[in-house]
Structure formats: C-alpha cells, structure tokens
A and B are shown apart, each in its own frame.
Chain A
Amino acid sequence: MKVSYQWLNEYLPLAKNGIKPAALAEKLARTSVDINEVSSPKDGLKKVVVGLVKECVPHPNSDHLHVCQVQVSDDETVQIVCGAPNVAAGEKVIVALHGARIGNNVKIKRSKMRGEESNGMLCALQELGVSTSVTPKSDDEGIWILPDDAKVGEPVWPYVGMDDTIIDTDVTPNRGDMLSIYGNVNDLSAIYDLKKNFRQHALASEDGGPASDKVKISVADDKIAPVYKMRVIENVKVADSPLWLKVKLMNSGVRPINNVVDITNYILLKYGQPLHSFDYDKLPSHDINVRHAHEGEKLTTLDDEERVLKANDIVIAAGDTAVALAGTMGGKSTMVDNNTKTVALEAAIFDPVMVRKQARRLDLHSESSMRFERGINPETVETALNEAAYWLTQLANGTVDQGIVVGNQSDYPAKTIQMSTAKVNDTLGTDLSLADLLDIFRRLDFATEKIDDDQFKVVVPARRWDISIPADLNEEIARLYGYDKIPSTLPVMTRTLGGLTDRQRRLRASRHVLEGLGLDQAISYSLTTVAKAKQFMVEPQDVEPMVLSYPMSSDHVATRMNIVSGLLNDIAYNHARNVDNVALYEQGRVFIPAGGERPREEEHVAGAVTGSLYADNWHMKGDQIDFFQLKGIVEQYLKNFAVNGKVEFVADSSRPEMHPGRTANILLDNQQVGFIGEVHPQTAKEYKIPETYVFELNLEALLKADRRDKHYEAISKYPSITRDIALLVDSSVTNADVVNAINEKGGAFLTDVHLFDVYEGSHLPKGKKSLAYTLTYRDQNDTLKEETVNKAFAKVEAHLTDALGAEIR
C-alpha cells in the first residue's frame, strides 16, 4: 500500500517527534510489514514555482500558442510561450523556470518559440512526473491550475502534495489491517508509543426520508456476505473533488474521478473498507439481492468487459439482474456518472475465499478485492459507511436518507486469549516480566487482565482478525519488543546423533568419483516432454510418464523417467554454442509410474560425453570419446560402489534410442541395473548433437546390493609366473566368452587374466579375430613350480580349443 507520510501525520505526531519518513519506513520493515520503496513525488525536480499569469495573448506566428507574461516572484515577471488551451490571465500556474528539472529528467532552458522568447514552461502534473495513471482527467487537457491562495514565487510542491513522502509497503496476507491508514496509525502508535488522534467524521444529520423505503436487501447466504449494509444519499451533485482529496488519492496511487467515486476511494484508503456506489436511478429494481451468480450469467463490468459468470461467483443483483461483482468490481450499467442524483452506497464484508477465487478466475484484482481477500475490520464497516455519507453531504451537497438498510450483520465477538509470562519467555528466549508484556499490549491498545503473577488475559480487538492463539500474540510481543533485542543462543539439549545416513554418504561419495573421472555435475530439468520422459529408460517398458494438469510450457509437462534425455538437452545447448567437448553426469530422481497415486521415485545416475574428455594439447592429442572410455568410467564408478555381485555388460540391440551395435545392458547378478552405449545417430540428430556416449544406472539397485567385505588379503611373498596366449577365434566369440572359458579351467593358482591385444583385419582369415591374453599364476603359500603352471596352462589351451574352437597361435 502506498502510505502517505503527511496523511499519517494528521493522526500521529511523527514529524513533531523527529520521526522522518526513511526512519519510519525502516521501523515498519523491522516491526510490521516489508517496504518496497520510500520516495517523494518531488524527488529529482527543481526550480518549479508558483506563477501568476499577468497577461496572455495569442502568439503572432501560431494559431494555438500563447505568449504569457508570468510573474514568478515579487519583482520578476518573465515571458513564457505556452500551448495549453486553458491558459488565461489571472491564473495561478506551475512554472518550470529556466534551469528547472521536471519529470523524466527533462531540463528547461530559455528558448525562442517561433520567434518569441520563452523563459520557462507552464506545466501539467504529468509533466512533473506524476504518473498519468493517477492524474485526473483534467490534467490531460492542459496545464494544472493552482488555487488562488498559492503564493507567487514559492516552490509549487505543497500546493500539489508533491512535498509528501510515500512509503510503499508490501503487506503479507496475514496483515490485511495494514492496508489502511487506520491500521498503519494503530501499528505506528504502538511501535513508537505515540498517542494517536484518528479523526473520524460522524454523520451529523439524516435529512432525507427513510432509506428502508428506498431499498430492500436480502442476502442469500450468510457466508457470502456476513455484513451487508447500505445507505441512500439523494440530491447528489457530481463534480470535481477538492484539491486536498485529489492529492490524497494521487499520492496513494488512486486516480481522482469525481467527488462520489473519490469519496468511496478515500474511505477505502482511510479505513480499508471498500465501498461501492450505485446510481440508484439506474438500478433496474430496488430489491437488492446478494447471491451466487447463475451459471453463464453475464455482467459488463466498469472496465467495459463482458464477464460470463460461474455459479461460484458472487454478485449483487437488483431484482434478478446482476449489477456488480461482489467485492470485486461494479457493473457498467449502474455506475455513477455526471448526471447521477441519488447514490446507493454499499458497505459490506464479503467472503474472502469467494472474492479471491472470483478475482483470480477473472484476473480482476482491484483495491477492493485485495482487501476483501485479506479480511475486513468488522468494527469499522458502519463507521466507514457513515463517514462516506458525511463527505457526500460536505463535498457533493447530498442529503442522507434516514437509517442504514441492513442486509446482514453477523456477530464478531471479541477474542480473549490467556497467556503465561513464563511460556512467552520459554518460546522467545527472552526474560520479560509480566509488566513488560502488559505494557506492550497497552501500546497495541489491546485490553488485558492480570490473573496472577504469571497468567494474564488479552482481549484482541476485531481489527486484528489475524490473531487467535497465544502464538499470534507471541509475534506481537516479539516484534514490538524488538527482534534485535532477542538474544542469540543455540539449542541446549541432549546430544543428538545426526549426520548423513549410509545411503546419503554413498551417494555423495559416488558423485565425487565421477568428478574425479572428468565429468561435470549437471542439474537438468526434471520436467520434460512426454516423448523425452519415455526415452532411455533403464528398464524399457511401455508406460506413460506422470503428466501435469496445467503445465506452464510445452517443454515441461511430464516427470522424467530417465536422466539421459536431460543431459542430451544440455549437450545440445553446449553444442549450439560451439562447445564440443562436454562430459556431464547427473544424479537425481526419476519417476516411474508403478500403479500407485504417486510414481515410484528412484535415484539414478547418468552420464553423457561427447568430443573428448581431455582437451587437445600441444603434445598430446585428446582422444574422441568411445564406448570403451566411457565403459572404463562406469567400471571405475561401480568398483567404488563396492557391490559384491557379478557385474556384466551384455550387448543389447533393442533400445530404439541407442546404437544397436554399440550398446550394452549392465547387469548386477543378472538383474538389469543400467545401460551404456552410443546414442543412436538418428536420435542424436533429433537432439541436434554430435556423436555422444551415455550411460544410466539405477542406484536403488546398487544401494540395495550386498557390499564387498572390506578385508585385507596379504600380498603373496612368492613370485608369480605368467604365460601369454594368443588365440584365433570366430569374430562372434566375445572377450567375455574367452575370459569365462579361461577362468573355468584356470585352476587354483590363476590370479589374473589380462587382455593385451585384439586384432581383426587383413592378415587374418575373414570372420576371424585374434585375441591375446597374459595369464598370471601365483601360489599364496609356496613358490610355484614351472611344471605346475605348464599343466594348468595346457588345460586352459585345451579347453579354449574344445569350447570355443580357438586356434592357439
């Protein structure tokens, strides 16, 4: 809310006590509500004074300009050329002198306009930087005319309220009371312990006939409008508002329209009570019905929009014709205009939720709806209505009909909350006495009653509808006592065993493994397209991902079932920016629908590498990533995971997004836990990425798996013996086949099988390849004899020939 410092000062002696706007704003921020901005309309402006137009003649060389002689001080009159149609001799005007700075940082300089000297500029408010969204319509039509008593030569600011300072507060949903000058005065009075003098204007006389003869009101449901009241004011003369009222509205960010509308807005700002004025004579019926809208009912609102309503909306109807969206916006057909004679003035409390839903659905957030949503002070509904009627008699010459027509009036009993001094201190960590607490509530104007040395009662006034339990009062105590004065301690308590769980520790450590191996950690979007969500699943299955009801963008509609697709998006992003060596991994959640309401969330890790892991160097060429480099990384990662089971890489050609000849499923004890391989060139093309290798592992399976025991094995004191063997086998025979065969018949002393050469090419028969291994034998307890090794080795040779048809070379 834009809070005027000057307005506050009418009710609170802030300036008198040396409390300046900036300090006030700081205090509010520390005690009450957040502050967006503190500013004065005159900030940055200079040399703008009151002038008197002594003479005004048409410009000899123009059909619309005037040449004016303007007195700008007791002894100085200057010539100014002015194009405004409303400039005339005898007017007090706003003069930007030579050297002045006006709105939008414009500097005014002496100049010649079509041959006539001009020593400044006569201004409208908008030229002084006042937003056109708040300047009155009259300001659009010419220069601003100042009141007759404005003193020539004086700075113009006080005459247009521009010397005020505006504190723009950001009110949290719980502090609806701070959306009024009344609420701000109450809070500031408590904060500074200043006596407030909130001037209210009682309605002195009701000179019209009984209002109840004019309107009948029925409220269909207490819930829609717990309070609904109306007054009728006749003989109203719609006109411009006086300057003081216009200034208050403009400084509060509200545009002056006419006296009737301005008065309702003034009351809204002063009390936080939205009012609505109907043109009584335009109402199609004087039976007012507050009800839910009929489904499909139409209403054209003040902003000229035709609204199609829903049954949840709430309306004010005259007879059965909707004439206003309750609490949100009036209808066009019954709006007050220059010819309005009789005003039906509504003051009500509407259901916050209904108003909120309606305003949201129609995207119609008004000063009124904002206040209804956050709550209305039931204590001042009638006060506000009466004061508005008072101002209509004063400023619009109205005659107030007798009595208030009450459509509904619910009870708002005062809330009494019992408090304990000890409990307060035990919650806040303070050492306040009962007297201290009672004094805080005295400042807040909350009645209290002492029960004993510890207990007391607090009566919460209706204007603080946010308060209902002791914790709420704790907040009042804390903020008024001062958060700065609350000490800083650490919880004193029995030792707790915290720390990471085994799972959390392993996940963290495993991330560092991949970083050590050269992969950067990425965090991609978990929400993606349906198509991408379904790709690259560790266990491919025909399942649809979970989708959002109302996604915000077509790129993010479904929860991912894999991490790889996000990494490929990242690679595409890098590739589009000519970054071609990208090695990323990501650890995070995937969401696998599993029949329940919520998907099963699995922790996965995935990697994607394109280009080379090592940048080209002046003396070493970076190798392009290939299957085996990435497999090495995965193997190292798995080794660090220390799972006990048997890990296998099994060729897989069934994954549509993967290269059919360069992809392997990763099995742990025959259970599928991941995959690795080259992204299918077609898929790569769709992602707009170059050749890329990826892997993804389901960490849930790895975390659950038995872990290798960490036990130490003595290093054998005895020497080992090695034998090399080279085989010629069919191309279809895999390394795994050979290693398995060797291990099968390797004997007790075979400790290692190491592949050191693979050859396939022109020197070999077609369909054959050569593999060469070093076999290492060792006895843990004795020196191995050559002949023992020879025997074991011969068995291996024989088995390879028998089982795989290998030719030993």
Chain B
Amino acid sequence: MGIREKLEELRDQGLADIQKTADLDSINKIRVRLLGKKGPITNVLRGMKDLSAEERPQVGKFANQIKQDLQAKLDEKKSQIEDDLLQAKLQSEKIDVTLPGTSVAQGQPHVIQQVIDQVVDIFTDMGYQVAVGDEVEEEEYNFEKLNLPKDHPARDMQDTFYVTPSILMRTQTSPMQARMLEKHDFSKGPLKMISPGKVYRRDTDDATHSHQFHQIEGMVVGKHITMADLKGTLELVAQKLFGDQLQVRLRPSYFPFTEPSVEADITCFNCMGKGCPICKGTGWIEVLGAGMTHPNVLKMSGVDPNVYGGFAFGLGPDRFAMLKYGVEDIRDFYLNDVRFLNQFDQKG
C-alpha cells in the first residue's frame, strides 16, 4: 500500500470515527489522536523520505488536504454537539410564564391629593399662583375680611372650631383671598391664585359630614374681569376634570364674599344629563360655588372696587372624589385603610 492509500484510509477511518462521536470529550480525543504530533498522519508522512522529489510535494499537499478535511469535520461536529447541548439546556430551563411576577413596593398618592394636584395643574397652566395658607386662622381673615361680620346669619352656615374668640380652625381656604389681596402689587398685573388645603367645621362625622375636609379656593382680581370670564373658567376646569362634552350651568346662590353669587352645576358625568341616581334624576351635579368678588372684600383689603373687580370660586376635592369614584362615606378618606387607598391609580 502506498502512502497515498494509507492516507486515504486514515482519512476515511477518521471521518467515520468523527461521525460516530456524540460528545465534546470524544471529539477532543479524536483530534489529539488523529492530528497530534504523534498521530498516524505524522507517522505516515515520515515515510515521505522514500519518495521521489516530484512526488513529495504532491503527497505533502495531499496530506495537508486530509488534515484540513478532518479538522473541518471535527469543527463541524463540535459545533453540532454544542448546539444540541444548548438546545437541551434551554429545554430544561423552561418556566411557567403564567406564574405571577414578583411584587414590588409602589405607593399611591391619596385620592384627594390626586384631585388637588389635578386641579392645581389646570390652574397653574393658566398662570395662576398657588397660595397655601395656615390652618389655624384669625377670625378676622376667616370671616370679617370676607364680608362676614359678627352676627351675620351666614356664620351659622358654618359651625366653627374656635380656639379663642379671635383664633379658629379655618372653615374655608378663603382667608388666603384677603391675605393675597393685601400683599399683591396690582401695578404688576392681575392677581390669579388658587388656595388648596385642609379646612375644619364643627360637625359630627358621618357618611356625608367630616369635621375635616379639603377645599380649593380660587380668585382672579384685576381690571375688567367679568362674570363671563368666571363662567368660561369654570367650564374649562369642569371639562378638563370630567370630560369635554360637559356643560356648566350657573344658578343663583349666596356667599357673603361674592355678589352676585352662583352655584355651578355640571352635566352629570354618569348619565350625561339623562338623569340617574347620582344626579337625583336632574342630569346635573352641583360641584362648586362661585361669584363676583364682593366690593366690601376688595375694600377691606385695600383694593379699590371702582377700579378692580374679579371673581372667586371654591370647590371641594372630597366631594369631587366621592362623585368621581362613587365613594359613599367621606370618612373613608381619613381612616386610611390601605385597601381603600390602593384603589385609586395615579391616572385618576
């Protein structure tokens, strides 16, 4: 048998061995056995010295060819085995993707905070400033400067927690109207403000009454501020809060610090005006009180009512939240049952 034949035999045998192999370890062993320095091919090539000068390069070339073939086959086989192994591993790693995800801690803003933030954002976008006042107020600012002199019947509308005859828990956030009117420099333009916060009334807590609740008061005072502006402003707010199609209607009402005073109703967002239990069949829901700032309020804060005028409005975030989410008991807002708190996602 010539060298060439021997090499061919080695190649065929080698390819067959590789073909039979099924694991990486054997592949390595075959590689070492066939192609190593002490392997059969090297051994065969040692007999090249007996060949003629013409044959030698040809055989050498042939031997290299065989080495390459074997190497290629080994590589191919190796990658095939690795691939199979990976597939098997992945198969074994299969999980039940329907198992629940790991819980992460995520708190919620309080639903009333959400309403307040939403309203605040609407007004700050329109260039209003936010004036946050103290919760313990002087009676002068809570009542007197809002055109509610002592013995005014409207004082009976609000039972008050007094601390001393002149100090009280504010019953409304309106005291900030007077405080801001006194501070504002009207030569720099109109005053546009809202004032959100906690307020207190001397009430017995039940499903619809709470001795503590929230209010957002707003006021615009400048030159040529009209009732039409008030109506437009309230409409915009109602639509941003409750939906585009909602209408606002005004009804006469009474607040000592506005004249004329109105109650603003919006189309019932539950039935869109058709009438339902939420709106007691009227198709309308009362959402806020408003009016044109009473000249006495301006006067008492040193603003000339002959030059300046404006409007004011007040709304109750608690009531908004109750209406919007159908919360039936106002006390739920202040007991902080986490099962209650967690129902209000931040999209509001």
- Contact partner, A173, options B102, B250, B254, B335, Cβ 8 Å: B254
- A173 lies within 8 A of B153 (CB): yes
Q: Which chain B residues lie closer than 8 Å to A495 at the CB level? A: 127, 189
State the CA gap A494–B162 with chains docked (Å): 41
Nearest residue in A to B261 (C-beta to C-beta)? A475
Q: Which chain B residues lie closer than 8 Å to A689 at the CB level? A: none
Could you name 27 residue pairs across A and B whose Cβ atoms are closer than 8 Å? A173-B254, A174-B254, A352-B153, A353-B151, A360-B156, A426-B309, A430-B228, A469-B259, A471-B260, A486-B228, A488-B228, A490-B229, A491-B222, A491-B233, A496-B189, A498-B130, A501-B130, A504-B130, A515-B107, A518-B105, A521-B107, A522-B110, A525-B212, A552-B211, A574-B338, A582-B338, A620-B102
Whether a CB of chain A sits under 8 angstroms from the CB of B32 is no
- B124 lies within 8 A of A570 (CB): no
- Contact partner, B106, options A471, A500, A516, A588, Cβ 8 Å: A516
- B228 lies within 8 A of A521 (CB): no
Max chain A C-beta neighbours (<10 A), residue from B137, B157, B189, B227? B227
Within 8 A of B (CB), among A471-501: 471-472, 474-475, 478-479, 483-484, 486-501
- Contact partner, B339, options A497, A567, A579, A591, Cβ 8 Å: A579
- Contact partner, B100, options A360, A469, A601, A617, Cβ 8 Å: A617
Whether a CB of chain A sits under 8 angstroms from the CB of B67 is no
Whether a CB of chain B sits under 8 angstroms from the CB of A350 is no
State the CA gap A353–B259 with chains docked (Å): 22
A-B pairs with lowest CB-CB distance, top 6? A429-B228, A518-B105, A429-B226, A475-B260, A172-B254, A483-B250
Q: How far is the CB of B293 from chain A (nearest CB, A)?
A: 9
- B107 lies within 8 A of A550 (CB): no
Q: Which chain A residues lie closer than 8 Å to B235 at the CB level? A: 488
Whether a CB of chain A sits under 8 angstroms from the CB of B119 is no
Nearest residue in B to A607 (C-beta to C-beta)? B107
- Contact partner, B136, options A352, A515, A591, Cβ 8 Å: A591
Whether a CB of chain B sits under 8 angstroms from the CB of A367 is no
Whether a CB of chain B sits under 8 angstroms from the CB of A573 is yes
What residues of chain B have their CB less than 8 Å away from a CB belonging to chain A? 99-100, 102-110, 112-113, 117, 120, 123-124, 126-130, 132, 134-138, 151, 153-154, 156-157, 161-164, 166-167, 169, 189-190, 192, 198, 200, 202-205, 211-212, 220, 222-229, 231-233, 235-236, 248-254, 259-263, 292, 294-295, 309, 333-339, 341-342
State the CA gap A496–B127 with chains docked (Å): 5
Q: How far is the CB of A283 from chain B (nearest CB, A)?
A: 32
Whether a CB of chain B sits under 8 angstroms from the CB of A374 is yes
- Contact partner, B108, options A173, A474, A521, Cβ 8 Å: A521
State the CA gap A579–B154 with chains docked (Å): 44
- Contact partner, A521, options B109, B123, B128, B135, Cβ 8 Å: B109
State the CA gap A620–B198 with chains docked (Å): 41
- A471 lies within 8 A of B292 (CB): yes
- B236 lies within 8 A of A515 (CB): no
Q: Which chain B residues lie closer than 8 Å to A469 at the CB level? A: 259, 295
What residues of chain A have their CB less than 8 Å away from a CB belonging to chain B? 29-34, 172-175, 352-353, 356-357, 360, 373-374, 426-430, 469, 471-472, 474-475, 478-479, 483-484, 486-501, 504, 508, 511-512, 514-527, 546-553, 556, 559, 567, 570, 573-574, 577, 579, 581-585, 588-589, 591, 597-599, 601, 613-615, 617-620, 622
Known contacts: A523-B334, A570-B336, A598-B134. The answer to whether A474 contacts B109 by CB under 8 A is no
State the CA gap A484–B252 with chains docked (Å): 11
State the CA gap A520–B134 with chains docked (Å): 25
Q: Which chain B residues lie closer than 8 Å to A483 at the CB level? A: 231, 249-252, 262
Given contacts A175-B254, A428-B227, A491-B192, 7 further A-B contacts (CB under 8 A): A471-B294, A478-B260, A549-B161, A552-B211, A589-B198, A591-B136, A618-B100
- A488 lies within 8 A of B109 (CB): no
Known contacts: A374-B153, A552-B204. The answer to whether A515 contacts B225 by CB under 8 A is no
State the CA gap A115–B202 with chains docked (Å): 61
State the CA gap A583–B106 with chains docked (Å): 10
Known contacts: A475-B260, A500-B124, A615-B103. The answer to whether A522 contacts B341 by CB under 8 A is yes
Known contacts: A472-B259, A598-B167. The answer to whether A515 contacts B336 by CB under 8 A is no
Q: Which chain A residues lie closer than 8 Å to B163 at the CB level? A: 546-549
- Contact partner, B162, options A508, A550, A618, Cβ 8 Å: A550
- A30 lies within 8 A of B126 (CB): no
Q: How far is the CB of A306 from chain B (nearest CB, A)?
A: 26
- A486 lies within 8 A of B250 (CB): yes
Nearest residue in A to B120 (C-beta to C-beta)? A500
State the CA gap A494–B186 with chains docked (Å): 12
- A617 lies within 8 A of B107 (CB): no
Q: How far is the CB of B313 from chain A (nearest CB, A)?
A: 13
Q: Which chain B residues lie closer than 8 Å to A589 at the CB level? A: 134-135, 198
Q: How far is the CB of A559 from chain B (nearest CB, A)?
A: 7
Q: Which chain A residues lie closer than 8 Å to B202 at the CB level? A: 550, 552
Q: Which chain A residues lie closer than 8 Å to B108 at the CB level? A: 515, 520-521
- Contact partner, B336, options A426, A490, A514, A573, Cβ 8 Å: A573
Q: Which chain A residues lie closer than 8 Å to B205 at the CB level? A: 553
Q: Which chain A residues lie closer than 8 Å to B135 at the CB level? A: 526, 559, 589, 591, 601
Q: Which chain A residues lie closer than 8 Å to B334 at the CB level? A: 523-525
- A522 lies within 8 A of B336 (CB): yes
Known contacts: A356-B151, A549-B162, A588-B198. The answer to whether A498 contacts B260 by CB under 8 A is no
State the CA gap A374–B153 with chains docked (Å): 8
Q: How far is the CB of B132 from chain A (nearest CB, A)?
A: 7
- B335 lies within 8 A of A573 (CB): yes
- A583 lies within 8 A of B189 (CB): no
Q: How far is the CB of B156 from chain A (nearest CB, A)?
A: 7
Nearest residue in B to A599 (C-beta to C-beta)? B136
Q: How far is the CB of A529 from chain B (nearest CB, A)?
A: 14
Q: Which chain B residues lie closer than 8 Å to A490 at the CB level? A: 126, 229, 232-233, 236
State the CA gap A517–B334 with chains docked (Å): 22
- B107 lies within 8 A of A479 (CB): no
- B157 lies within 8 A of A173 (CB): yes
- B136 lies within 8 A of A504 (CB): no
Nearest residue in A to B151 (C-beta to C-beta)? A353
Q: Which chain A residues lie closer than 8 Å to B203 at the CB level? A: 552
Q: How far is the CB of A470 from chain B (nearest CB, A)?
A: 8
- B105 lies within 8 A of A517 (CB): yes
State the CA gap A549–B106 with chains docked (Å): 41
- B105 lies within 8 A of A613 (CB): yes
- A517 lies within 8 A of B129 (CB): no
Q: Which chain B residues lie closer than 8 Å to A549 at the CB level? A: 161-164
- A486 lies within 8 A of B200 (CB): no
Known contacts: A486-B250, A617-B100. The answer to whether A498 contacts B262 by CB under 8 A is no
- B212 lies within 8 A of A526 (CB): yes
- B107 lies within 8 A of A583 (CB): yes
Q: How far is the CB of A191 from chain B (nearest CB, A)?
A: 11
Q: How far is the CB of B125 from chain A (nearest CB, A)?
A: 8
Q: Which chain B residues lie closer than 8 Å to A496 at the CB level? A: 127-129, 189-190, 192
- B337 lies within 8 A of A574 (CB): yes
Q: Which chain B residues lie closer than 8 Å to A524 at the CB level? A: 334, 336
Q: Which chain B residues lie closer than 8 Å to A508 at the CB level? A: 117
- A498 lies within 8 A of B107 (CB): no
State the CA gap A406–B342 with chains docked (Å): 70
Nearest residue in A to B105 (C-beta to C-beta)? A518
Q: How far is the CB of B330 from chain A (nearest CB, A)?
A: 12
- B103 lies within 8 A of A614 (CB): yes
Q: Which chain B residues lie closer than 8 Å to A479 at the CB level? A: 252, 260
Q: Which chain B residues lie closer than 8 Å to A551 at the CB level? A: 161
State the CA gap A352–B259 with chains docked (Å): 22
State the CA gap A699–B118 with chains docked (Å): 23
Q: How far is the CB of B221 from chain A (nearest CB, A)?
A: 10
State the CA gap A613–B336 with chains docked (Å): 16
Nearest residue in A to B259 (C-beta to C-beta)? A471
State the CA gap A613–B105 with chains docked (Å): 6
Nearest residue in B to A482 (C-beta to C-beta)? B250
- B113 lies within 8 A of A523 (CB): yes
- A356 lies within 8 A of B153 (CB): yes
Nearest residue in A to B226 (C-beta to C-beta)? A429
Nearest residue in A to B305 (C-beta to C-beta)? A471
